[in-house]
């Protein structure tokens, strides 16, 4: 049975192009984040607490908002009011950037999927760190959920300077994060996935570890779903050697076999078609390593959420499922786990 969001709100949003709908939603939640009455109204969606501690961080529940929905961290109080156990903002880059040309988000309702080629459009690390500082100083920082910050490489930065680019963002943002996620797997920034190669990943993690000595924030790595078993084993080995706190499995996929060719678009595919591929990687990481896994990809209902936990995930992140199912998805998942 469809919930109220699916019957009334989603048709209105889906009558707009995908990026306009996204911008309208974020703008509304940003406004709500400054109004106590609005936050109390949003709290009707909150699931019952289900606390869980992972890599030394206590989460009020294990269901998080994946990076990409609130790239600039403008609506943290609203997401917290709706009951997310954690919010991952970003991807943030050292330099502000507009992202790829529009249109760059495409819906596939029959498949419960999205394709995006946004390209890390965000306000940049300086502006976002200033915004987060003001939120904290104004007493509106969400006390009832954790905040992760996802950082990536600026498009204009040469690959040879990628480590310095990540370090710039990390130094500005680490104090606001309960954990920091390194995005080395988006398909929409040219060359970025090269950072998953052992030598490049090891160099990046070594530099971040050195910069992290004072704050000792948990560092997690977000990986692609399109890895071979050998590539995955190499990444796990580097993450273990670098004492990474967690692995996010996974980013969007370049496998578009579920999308009719006449409607296909370049970019990363997310949503229900990613479910099996993501779960397989979660299961494989769990079998090969003790590094905690944050599952992301194809979580659209209670069954897909349970599947991720049964595969070995410690935490979940939702994105496309939330766009299709709305805020009651949190409560549905929480009841099932």
- Residues 282, 293 contacting (CB under 8 angstroms): yes
Burial of 210 (0-12, 13-18, 19+ CB in 10 A): exposed
β-partners of residue 219 are 180
CB neighbours of residue 40 within 10 Å: 10
- Residues 287, 229 contacting (CB under 8 angstroms): no
Residues 6+ apart with CB under 8 A from 165: 93, 94, 95, 153, 154, 157
Does residue 186 carry a catalytic annotation? yes
DSSP state of 297: S
Query: At which residue do the structure tokens 């704050």 appear?
Result: 215
* Catalytic-labelled residue, pool 186, 278, 284, 296: 186
Structure-token pair, residue 113: 């999927």
Q: Report H helices in 174-214.
A: 198-211
Please give the positions annotated as active site.
186
């Amino acid at each position: 049975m469809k919930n109220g969001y699916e019957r009334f709100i989603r048709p209105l949003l889906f009558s707009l192009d995908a990026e306009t709908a996204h911008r309208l939603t974020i703008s509304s939640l940003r406004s709500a984040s400054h109004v106590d009455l609005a936050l109390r109204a949003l709290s009707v969606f909150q699931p019952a607490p289900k606390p869980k501690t992972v890599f030394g961080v206590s989460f009020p529940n294990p269901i998080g908002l994946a990076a990409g929905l609130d790239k600039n961290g403008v609506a943290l109080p609203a997401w917290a009011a709706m009951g997310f156990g954690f919010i991952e903002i970003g991807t943030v880059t050292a330099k502000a950037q507009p992202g790829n040309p529009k249109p760059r988000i495409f819906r596939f309702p029959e498949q419960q999927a999205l394709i995006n080629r946004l390209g890390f459009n965000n306000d940049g690390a300086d502006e976002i760190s200033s915004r987060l500082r003001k939120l904290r100083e104004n007493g509106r920082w969400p006390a009832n959920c954790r905040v992760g910050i996802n950082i990536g490489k600026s498009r204009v930065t040469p690959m040879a300077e990628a480590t310095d680019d990540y370090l710039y963002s990390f130094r500005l943002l680490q104090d606001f994060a309960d954990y920091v996620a390194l995005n080395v797997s988006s398909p929409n920034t040219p060359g970025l996935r090269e950072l998953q190669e052992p030598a490049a990943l090891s160099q990046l993690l070594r530099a971040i570890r050195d910069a992290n000595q004072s704050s000792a924030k948990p560092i997690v790595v977000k990986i692609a779903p399109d890895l071979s078993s050998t590539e995955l084993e190499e990444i796990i080995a580097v993450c273990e050697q670098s004492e990474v706190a967690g692995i996010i499995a996974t980013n969007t996929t370049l496998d578009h076999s579920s999308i009719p060719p006449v409607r296909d678009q370049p970019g990363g595919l997310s949503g229900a078609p990613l479910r099996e591929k993501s779960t397989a990687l979660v299961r494989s990481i769990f079998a090969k390593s003790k590094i905690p896994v944050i599952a992301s990809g194809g979580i659209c209902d209670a069954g897909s959420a349970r599947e991720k936990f049964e595969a070995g995930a410690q935490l979940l992140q939702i994105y496309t499922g939330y766009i299709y199912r709305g805020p009651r998805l949190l409560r549905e998942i929480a009841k099932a786990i």
